[in-house]
Every structure is written in structure tokens, then in C-alpha cells.
Chains A and B, each alone.
Chain A
Amino acid sequence: MKNILCVKWGDKYTSQHVEKLKQQVEKHCSYDFNFYCLTDKPEKEYDIQLPTWMDEHYIPEKNFFWAYRKCYMFDQTKIFGDDSANDEFLFFDIDVLIHNSIDPLWELPMDKPYIVRGWWNDIKNCQKNYGKLKSTPLNSSVVRWNGLQLHRVYNHIRKNAPMVFFTYRTIDNYFNHFFYNIHNEEESFFRGYPKGMIYSWYKGNIFDEDMELKKLRKDHMICLFNNSASGIDEDMNDISEINGLY
């Protein structure tokens, strides 16, 4: 079975935001799928209660941008039941704009799970800053996996939680250090989606080739708006150019 997921907590997003994401995936996915939202405040029939055990490791002054609640979904048999061990999963951040069919995401070779490789990053800058715990080339706004592929990530966090939460400011920096090889993606646990599929509203598309910011690229599949770690707290729904595209 195919499952499309999002995670919502706190007050930044409302159930309307989740509904908008649901409408987008219904419009752009021709396969049958279940839609779920893992949330701290279940309201709708597709909502699932978020666990809370990671809260004890959360350090507000260090982990302000750490979207650790996403990691609960990697413990999928606990969240979705034992039968989900053979299911297919696709996670979206709530603040994404889907331009075109997402069917190709279900048709990827799944020898590895997928995460957004931000092609807008200068990889040499990412390499230079690797030891400084910043400039990750990864973005977990769209994650695709099959079966238990990401259970290893969940277990790693569970067993190393105090160190992981203390050390990393964002989940994407953590993924970069433990589940990606910044020098050779072929050796990585995660694989990045190909160039030209996903771009960033705030950061561009492909480094050195197409880096214009705040530009829609309607021939691409998905536009990301996540930029909270840079201090921009704009809601994508407040951008007039975007609003009419839902």
C-alpha cells in the first residue's frame, strides 16, 4: 500500500494547511494511497497521535529548528502497524507546493531511501563547513522510503538521543553526518532526488546554473518553502504569487 504522510505540531500550521497539502497530493497522484497526518492534536480521520518520548531530549536553545518529530514516522510499524512493513511511504513537509504529477516518486528504484539533495547548495561550501555542523546539502522536506528502510535511522536516534539532540541544530545536519556521504552519494545511505525535480523558493534551483530566488518553476515537480533555520518566518500562504496555485 502507498502512504503519503505529513507531520504537524505546535501552532505554526493549522488543519487547513494539512487539507491544502492533501488536496495537492490528490490532484497530482494517480495511484491509490492513504493519507495520514501525524500530529500532537488529532482532529480529522486521517490524523495519528504523535508520540512524545523525544520531548525529554529536546533542548530549546539548541534545537529550536530541529524538526525531530518527523523521526517518529520512521518507527512505522509502531505508528502504522506490523502490516506496514511492506508498505511504500512518501513524506511531505506541509509547506510544499506541488506543480506536477508526483507519480515518478513512486517509480524510483528503491534500493535506497530518498531525501532532497539541495542542488542549490555549493557542494564545496558544504564540504568546507562539514566539521562546523552547518551547510548541509540535505533537506528532509520530501522523503521517500519503502518498508523498514528508515527504521535504522529511528534506532540510531533512539540509541544516541542525548548526543544527537545536543550536537545538531537541525535534522538535516544530523542526516548529513550519519546517513550521507557528502563526497560520494553512491556510498550514502540516502540518495538524493535527481536535479530538476525539486527546487527551493528561497534558495534557488541548481548551483551556478539557475539560482534565481523567489521564482516559480512550473515545469518542476515540487517547490520547497522551508527556510526557518535562516530566520525567515514567512508563511507560503502569505505569498500572493503562490496562493492562487493551490
Chain B
Amino acid sequence: MDYIKYKKYNSNNWMRALSYVHKEKPHLFQRVLDSFTESQLESKLWLNNELNKIQNEFNNVVVVGGWYCHVLTNILIENFNAQFVCNYDIDIDSKMISYKFNKTYKDEGKFFTSARNLFSVYEFLEGRHQQHGPVDLLINPSCEHMYYMKDLLKKQFKYARPLCVLQSTDNDEYDDHINCVKDPQELADQANLIDIKYMGTKKLSNGMNRFMVIGR
């Protein structure tokens, strides 16, 4: 599948979100536009296609560093029938803007966003995950921006790991790419994944190598 299911309510929410940022947060407008590049979409569609070969339905999803989380939430809810998606992003602006993009999902109780830093020993998963049973999927689409995922998984999922989808890159030309990896194997190693269902590399339209691993 090389498209997302862009429903009427998505159109309404996304238009209002863009309008809000343009008017109220103009200093962030370019950042929001950056989240809509072709390569951003390519990464999310790639995730959709490979994950769908492994499992096609999820209930309770954690997204780590999801940024505005518009395309990814759409994919999780529309394609994988996710009942609850929580986007953890430490940036409060991202939190607020991701609510705007996902207003309908939020109003239905299917989307929530949290500024908690799950790498900290003092911060934990939002309690509302518990209403939906065990977390069965964790996605980090931006591992290059943060510390090793094994640290987070050890802290937040001591007893049972969800299926994990991790993406990263070897492109270290940006200051905020603090954790680039040389290949998908290193990405899997950083998370201590042992049961690997998928591992691959994709050259994106912007020329960047994107790595993805799916496993536990």
C-alpha cells in the first residue's frame, strides 16, 4: 500500500491543525511542514507494509518520539484497528499540535499524547494504557534522536515486551542525530531484540538511509 486512508475527519482535523499553527505558532510552521515531506511518508508507509505482514491488528500502542504523529496515528487506527495510541514526546508544542491533528481520534478516546520522558527512572507509562490491557506494540520512528531503546524497554517493560518497531539512520550530519547506527543489526542490538521478525534498509527520496527492525 502506498497511500494512507485519508478520511473526511482527517481532512478536517489536519486543515484546522495547519491553520492553527500558521496563525498561533508561526515559528513552528516550517517544522510542521517538515513533518509532511515525501521521505517522512515513505518511512511510515514502509512501516505499515512490513508490520502488516507480521500482524494486522493491535490494541494498545506506545509511540516514542512520534513528533506530530499525524500519519502514523492514522495508519495505526485506520489500518491496524488500534484501540489506543499514546504518543510520548517530550516537546510540549508537539504534544499540543499532535492533538490538533488527531482531534477526532482523541475525542473517541483512541489517541492520547504525553510529554513524559520514558528514559527517566522517575517517569512511567501513562496509567490509561491499563484500560486497554497490555501494550502490544511499541513504535519508535526516531531512534537516532535518543538513547538506546534497551534502556527504555528495561525500565518500562520489565516483565513482558511488546512487539517493537524501531527506525533509525546512519546520517549523522544533524546535531540532533545523537544516536546514529551503521545498519539495522546495530539498531536491533541497541534494543536487545532477540526475536527479530523483520530487518531492512530503505533509501528514502531525500537520499537518507532508513533502517527498520521489527521484533521483541
Q: Does the CB pair B28–A160 fall under 8 Å?
A: no
Q: Which of A37-45, A48-56, A76-84, A126-134 contacts B (4 or more CB under 8 A)?
A: A126-134
Q: Is A86 an interface residue (CB 8 A)?
A: no
Nearest A-chain residue to B146, judged by Cβ: A167
Given the complex, which residues of B lie within 8 Å of A128, measured CB to CB?
A: 27-28, 31
A171 to B90, CA, bound (A): 17
Q: Does the CB pair A124–B147 fall under 8 Å?
A: no
Pick from A124, A127, A166: contact of B179, CB below 8 A: A166
Q: Does the CB pair B117–A127 fall under 8 Å?
A: no
- Quick one: given A177-B90, A177-B117, A178-B120, are A131 and B176 in contact (CB under 8 Å)? yes
Q: Is A62 an interface residue (CB 8 A)?
A: yes
A156 to B122, CA, bound (A): 8
- Size of chain A's interface in residues, with CB distance under 8 A? 23
Q: Does the CB pair B175–A124 fall under 8 Å?
A: no
Task: Tell me the interface secondary structure of chain A in the complex.
Answer: helix
- Size of chain B's interface in residues, with CB distance under 8 A? 24
Q: Is B121 an interface residue (CB 8 A)?
A: yes
Given the complex, which residues of A lie within 8 Å of B151, measured CB to CB?
A: 162-163
A169 to B178, CA, bound (A): 9
Most buried by B among A125, A132, A183: A132
Nearest B-chain residue to A166, judged by Cβ: B147
A18 to B93, CA, bound (A): 42
User: Nearest-CB distance from A134 to chain B (Å)?
Assistant: 6
Mark each residue of chain B from 83 to 106: 1 if its CB lies under 8 Å from any CB of chain A, else 0. Answer: 000000111111000000000000
Q: Is A159 an interface residue (CB 8 A)?
A: yes
User: Nearest-CB distance from A214 to chain B (Å)?
Assistant: 26
Binding site for B on A (CB under 8 A): 62, 124-125, 127-128, 130-134, 156, 159-160, 162-163, 166-167, 169, 177-178, 181-183
Binding site for A on B (CB under 8 A): 27-28, 31, 67, 89-94, 117, 119-122, 145-148, 151, 175-176, 178-179
